[in-house]
């Protein structure tokens, strides 16, 4: 068999001798022709077969794949640059184990179900933390165990499978064991991954917790203790900051329930978010709202101790100053007008499947997911703060009918806005993070309507609250207002940090 020519494609075509210079032969250069390059040592071969005999027919080299492979700016499909060539003794990546593959699949399912489902969406910092999970190195067992438990819980809730929820309990127990090992080791207790594992387990309790909020409270309490051990100066990475933002919201919701302040309203902890609050309205709002639980704690102490008129005036003054800050924030937030439009509730995708009660027929369609969460946080915090101030005013002041009317109009406005803002966050497109963002506001609105004796609004809040719960998960159903007061529970446990 004659030796195959090793000349360039053009010289072979012309059947002339090729000097085989690289990258272009001199024969082509002298003729002023662009040299198309050379056939690689091993190339693609096309085989054709006779359909009747199933024997090889024509065997032909597909030379078009290699032409101009060595030309300037052109690269062949088989060409490797020196920097791309792996040394012979370079380590070969290990194949993924089935457990790792399952974890990746579960994490992908979790993210797709938990986060908002449209591109270009603006997220609040707590949701941004969940978005960053795939980029966190899987180097700590406590983080991986917590992520496994949370991902399984998401799948179970999405499928409304009570039996699957029971199976997640073993994963949750494993995650608790891994977390306990980390906390008892000084170096590991200070790591961001330990904070993140604790945070994810608190979120697990939101998904499928059956302890009336006690498990969620303990995890948040643990986070605050770890914060205290680390100190404010340790929050300097993007991951630690995202965990800090998420924990602040958790702490705030618990503070509203237990009416006690945490360490996060002190100046040294507020300094962490001072720069970010300048550009992020959500962060600046939480900087204001984080002070509300301390007002509630001081109020309860005043009532228990039978405080003086001076103490009452001091709390009222501080409440009014904080409310003024909130209203100033709101005016700045809406300097270009409200960031929502009013629409018929029937146009909100999926909400009538959650709550088909048309008590609130006109609802809000917000500009973005982050906008809806921010508004709900504002209305909820202002309703709690001003309801507390109203109770103080009624006890220590003689209010005129016009003053009573003005108080009622303001408070009813906040509760009404919460209910009209909830449907937007209950759409499937908002994900479970949107859904969870409605739970505490619904509790707050329901308690206000209960104080007013507004039975229709109470029924609406309860139907919206329970609308996406897993059937049979809570037996009997978890009350929208806990039967055991959270404050009594806290007093019987370690003081809220």
DSSP state of 472: T
3-state secondary structure of 137: coil
By CB atoms closer than 10 A (0-12, 13-18, 19+), residue 243 is: buried
Q: How many CA atoms lie within 13 A of 361 on its CB side?
A: 1
Q: Are 420 and 363 in contact (CB under 8 A)?
A: yes
- Residue-range domain boundaries for the chain: 9-81, 99-281+483-497, 291-466
Pairing, β 340-344 against β 56-61: unpaired
**What's the Cα-to-Cα distance from 492 to each of 89, 217, 343, 485, rounded to whole Å?**
63, 13, 47, 11
Report CA Rg, the chain. Answer: 32
CA distance 279 to 294: 26
- Phi/psi-derived region of residue 431, left when phi > 0, alpha when psi is between -120 and 50, beta in every other case: left
pTM: 0.75
Omega before 150 cis (within 30°)?
no
Angle (nearest 5°) at CA 480 between 475 and 485: 95
**What's the Cα-to-Cα distance from 74 to each of 14, 79, 358, 392, rounded to whole Å?**
23, 10, 65, 79
User: Tokens at residue 220, please?
Assistant: 């948040």
Q: Are 257 and 213 in contact (CB under 8 A)?
A: yes
The structure tokens 């770890």 sit at: 226
- Give first-to-last CA distance, the chain, whole Å: 87
Q: What is the secondary structure of 190-213 as a DSSP string?
A: TSHHHHHHHHHHHHHHHHH--STT
Quote the pLDDT of residue 157: 81
What are the φ/ψ torsions at residue 60 (nearest 5 degrees)?
A: -135, 140
Q: Are 299 and 388 in contact (CB under 8 A)?
A: yes
CA distance 421 to 423: 6
| Mean pLDDT split into 10-residue runs, the chain, 497 residues | 71 86 82 78 47 47 49 40 47 50 70 75 83 80 89 83 82 90 82 91 84 83 92 90 93 92 94 93 96 94 81 91 97 95 94 90 93 95 95 84 93 96 91 87 93 93 80 48 46 53
- Phi/psi-derived region of residue 192, left when phi > 0, alpha when psi is between -120 and 50, beta in every other case: alpha
């Amino acid at each position: 068999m004659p030796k195959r020519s090793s000349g360039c494609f053009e010289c072979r075509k012309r059947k002339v001798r090729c000097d085989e210079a690289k990258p272009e032969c001199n024969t082509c250069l002298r003729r002023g022709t662009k040299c198309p390059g050379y056939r690689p040592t091993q190339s693609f071969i096309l085989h054709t077969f006779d359909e009747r005999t199933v024997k090889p027919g024509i065997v032909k080299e597909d030379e078009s794949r290699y032409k101009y492979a060595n030309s300037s700016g052109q690269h062949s499909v088989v060409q490797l640059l020196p920097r791309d060539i792996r040394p012979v003794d370079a380590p070969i990546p290990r194949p993924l184990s089935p457990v790792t593959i399952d974890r990746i699949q579960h994490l992908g399912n979790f993210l797709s179900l938990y986060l908002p489902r449209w591109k270009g969406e603006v997220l609040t910092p707590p949701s941004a933390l969940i978005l960053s999970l795939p980029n966190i190195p899987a180097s700590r067992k406590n983080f991986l165990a917590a992520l496994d438990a949370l991902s399984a819980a998401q799948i179970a809730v999405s499928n409304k499978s009570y039996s699957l929820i029971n199976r997640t309990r073993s994963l949750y127990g494993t995650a608790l064991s891994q977390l306990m090992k980390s906390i008892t080791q000084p170096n590991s207790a200070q790591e961001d991954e330990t904070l993140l594992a604790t945070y994810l387990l608190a979120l697990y309790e939101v998904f499928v917790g059956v302890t009336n909020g006690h498990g969620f409270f303990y995890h948040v309490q643990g986070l605050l203790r770890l914060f205290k051990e680390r100190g404010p100066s340790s929050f300097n990475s993007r991951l630690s900051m995202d965990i800090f933002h998420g924990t602040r919201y958790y702490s705030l919701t618990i503070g509203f329930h237990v009416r006690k302040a945490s360490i996060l309203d002190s100046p040294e902890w507020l300094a962490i978010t001072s720069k970010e609050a300048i550009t992020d309205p959500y962060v600046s709002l939480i900087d204001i709202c984080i002070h509300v639980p301390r007002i509630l704690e001081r109020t309860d102490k005043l009532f228990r101790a039978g405080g003086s008129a001076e103490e009452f005036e001091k709390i009222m003054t501080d409440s009014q100053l904080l409310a003024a800050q909130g209203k100033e924030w709101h005016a700045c937030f809406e300097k270009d007008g409200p960031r929502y439009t009013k629409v018929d509730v029937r146009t909100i995708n999926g909400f009538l499947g959650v709550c088909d009660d048309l008590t609130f027929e006109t609802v809000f369609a917000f500009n973005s997911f982050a906008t809806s969460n921010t508004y709900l946080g504002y209305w909820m915090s202002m309703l709690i703060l001003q309801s507390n101030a109203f109770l103080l005013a009624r006890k220590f002041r003689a209010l005129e009918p016009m003053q009573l009317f003005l108080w009622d109009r303001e408070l009813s406005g906040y509760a009404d806005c919460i209910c009209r803002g909830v449907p937007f966050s209950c759409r499937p497109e908002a994900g479970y993070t949107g859904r969870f963002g409605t739970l505490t506001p619904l509790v707050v609105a329901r308690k206000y309507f209960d104080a007013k004796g507004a039975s229709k609004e109470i029924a609406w809040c309860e139907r919206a609250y329970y609308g996406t719960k897993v059937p049979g998960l809570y037996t009997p159903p978890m009350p929208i207002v806990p039967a055991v007061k959270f404050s009594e529970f806290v007093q019987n446990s370690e003081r809220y940090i």
